[in-house]
Amino acid sequence: MRVVTQPDHARLAGELVRLWRTDGLPDHPRRDELLFAVREHDNGWREADAAPRVDAPTGRPADFLAFPPAERREVWRRSTARYAATHPYAALLITEHALALLADREGGAEGTAFLAALADRRLELQLATRVGAEELAADYRFLQLADGIALAACAGWREPFERAGMRVEARDSGHLLRPFPLTGSTTFKVPCRSIPDRRYQGDADLGGTLAAARWEEFSVRVAALESG
């Protein structure tokens, strides 16, 4: 079983956007902050990945989908707050990402209140950065696309999908994109650890196994998906 941390997945997304050559990104006035946001969009998972959890029903490592709601909210509180003072526009994009991810996953009074607090933070950051809703949506598309491509690569998704106007297909030759935003086919290296594919008895069992696992790298090739 290959294990990739959320921050390492985000760094792959950041590398993708760093090499993006379409959609006006090379000359974008907020390019540096946008790249920072993509690279750091999962910053709140650092603490969670340092103390890995087991998903009790399956006995497997708990990924971002299996995290308990209260702890997941704490992750996104950290993610959206960490850079609010030093990188407010990046924090705004990360907050937009949190709202997009959690809109259909939060329920009950606590979940509703949490989404409302995120919406308030988004408004505060918009006012601080003077970025309107249309500009924010256009910039968020880069994060949305890079996040989807990086997730597909790190999680080993094989089903084709479309996101924000781009089609992504996984082949033996790599992950193929249409339209293709880079100058040419590119291979990225992602840190990972390999652990036995078994049921883990608890957090200590998983944590000890991960601590003993050797760090490795795997390759992610991204290329153009031809029409037809």
**Residue pLDDT, tens place only, 204-225:** 999 999 999 999 999 999 999 9
In this structure, is the dihedral angle defined by the CA atoms of residues 85, 86, 87 and 93, taken in order, positive or negative?
Answer: negative
Q: What is the pLDDT of residue 228?
A: 59
Domains in the chain: boundaries:
2-224
Mean pLDDT in residue range 58-73: 88
Residue 222 dihedral angles phi and psi, to the nearest 5°: -120, 130
pTM recorded for the entire structure: 0.94
Contacts of residue 80, defined as CB under 8 A and 6 or more positions apart, other chains included, come to 44, 91, 94, 95, 98, 118, 121
**Residue pLDDT, tens place only, 162-201:** 999 999 999 988 999 999 999 999 999 999 999 999 999 9
* Tokens matching residue 221: 């090739």
Q: Is the pLDDT of residue 32 over 80?
A: yes
